[in-house]
Amino acid sequence: MGDKRFLITGGSQGIGAAIVEAARAAGNEVVFTGRNEELIGRVASETGAHGIKADVSVGEDNARTVEACREHMGGLDVLVNNAGYGYMAPIGEVDMDSMKTMFDTNVFGLVDLTNRVVPLMKEQGQGDIVNIASTSGIRGHANGTAYSASKWAVRGISQCWQTELRPHDIRVISVCPSEVQTAWGGRAGRNNPKKLYASDIADAILSTLSANRRALWPEFAVFATNPWSEG
């Protein structure tokens, strides 16, 4: 699928950067967003993608992002809603302001940007929307009240959009990665070769998008085969 126009949020590091790299390697045009100018510049230089500094929780930034897609690619065919982060706290200690701020990115920003993109996809008669949820949105875990709730929301939103957008030939895919070795949550150096890498998630997404347009995977999870093995 080397002739598509991608918009990837949170594309300056981790899973997002891996998706940018994979999409560009397949010959696609890519616009991506991030909040760290140094990281944006590095990914843009390494991949040839067009990076812009933008925060999905800010409506004005989302409007500017869509306009950048029009300017640099003439529109877009694939939206990957990847931007997000985690806030963890046990119940009894959840800081409500922190939870609301996280929802501004993980949920409300995702909806706002997609709200601006869908009219373009309807006009052209097709498109793909990939929402990055999490296995934390499939099964809750200790300290996950806020984060898991945000990813359950992404899964539910995806199901609503599938119902609304399939008649317009717009596929909506919810992806639920298990633990991936990135700097997520500020942790680095997790180099267990048995666990998932960001490139594994990117490869799974590109493979799914390459299916014939009559086929839709509404949702899939990605797990490491044997992350507990020491051999």
Q: What is the DSSP letter of 59?
A: H
Identified catalytic residue from 85, 87, 147, 197 = 147
Catalytic-residue membership of 147:
yes
Tell me the one-letter amino acid at 125: G
Sheet strands side by side (includes 219-222):
50-53, 29-34, 5-8, 78-81, 127-132, 170-177, 219-222
**Cα-Cα-Cα-Cα dihedral sign, residues 13, 115, 59, 77:** positive
DSSP string, 196-214: B-HHHHHHHHHHHHTS-TT
Closest CA to 106 of 61, 57, 172, 40: 57
Closest CA to 184 of 85, 52, 79: 85
Catalytic amino acids? Answer: 147
